[in-house]
Structure 1
Amino acid sequence: MNSVEAKILLKQFKANDKDAINKLYEMFSRKLYNFAFSYLKTEEDALDVVQTVFVNLWDKRKNISDDSNLESYLFTVTKNAVISTFRKKVQEKKYLENLRQTTVLSYNDTDEKYDYEILYEKIQKLIEELPEKRRHIFKLYKEEGLSNKEIAEKLNISVKTVEDHKTKAKHFIKNNLEKSGFIALLLFEVFL
């Protein structure tokens, strides 16, 4: 796309033309995804960043100058979203670690002694209850640390199928752990 076409597309976009946002998405989403993924290393986070960038673009469309280099603008917003994601992850990790420490300390002080080994065994049993393909995908993700894309390539299935199986596996395990109380759910969130 030449600069004249880009300026026309930008004008259409700023005039609330929904086709223009779709064209912009088609033009830039893959590049932005690859950029975000190169830093974040997870599909889910990279997709979240791309979505954030385009929501931000739509919300701020009136403020974008007609002379803007849209590609440069999008990469700057993407870079900022990646940094924001890193900060959020660090805070989340600190929060979960603090919560885990607090829970472990309060665990030692309560009458209800929760046996983590029994809980771990329960989680393993729940994983074994998953349908074979879902169990295999979940283990590749959790035990081998493979990304959705790596699992999809290894099993010759779509990334969407991998995501679906992972979501359903987590949902099944989490629902069954709810009966075991807060500590069980915390363990699931922190370690699984």
Structure 2
Amino acid sequence: MLLSKKDDIDLWNAVRNDDLSAFNELFARYWDRLYKVAFQRLQDENTSLEIVHDIFLSLWTRRETLVINKVPNFLLTSVRYQLYSRQKAAKLSIAYKADLFDTSEFAEQNAGEMRIQNIELQKQLDEYLHKLPERCQEIFLLSRMHHLSNLEIAERLGVSKKTVENNIAIALKYLRLTFQKTGSLMLLLLLHAIK
């Protein structure tokens, strides 16, 4: 039964006293207007229905604590708030997706830059290695780049294991000093990584 003769404040006071029929009357009076406001802004039927549903659900669940002086003003403000909240959430979602895209683009760019840096570091290392005696270069490369043991290098080159150890020590010391002088932190780190 609709209480159509009661004004909005009387209906609201009845709702506050758990009168479901008064709630249904407010719903019947304002549902269509609230839906039209939401739909006009969103052009989305489902979301507009959700908004109106959420407003009336909130109205019912918070009926004991809400203070409403003008029901239409309160309901229209609620619609505007819901629209704003959803619009803000959508913008954040779009921004978040854009950030994810930007991050992956950055990661690709970063990987490319890292490859270029590695190539440049390798060139610089090769340049410094060429300043070492030929045998010292050969032993260092077999040890650090080809990962042969000192014994394997000694057997391959026909030298003693001690000679291999001494040449590796000479190469490492030279490279460390050279990298420290040139201020090439990356090369110094690379050198430590290939010990």
After TM superposition, the score normalised by the length of structure 1 is: 0.48
Question: Relative contact order (C-alpha < 8 Å, sep 6+): which is higher?
Answer: 1
After TM superposition, the score normalised by the length of structure 2 is: 0.47
Larger Rg: 2
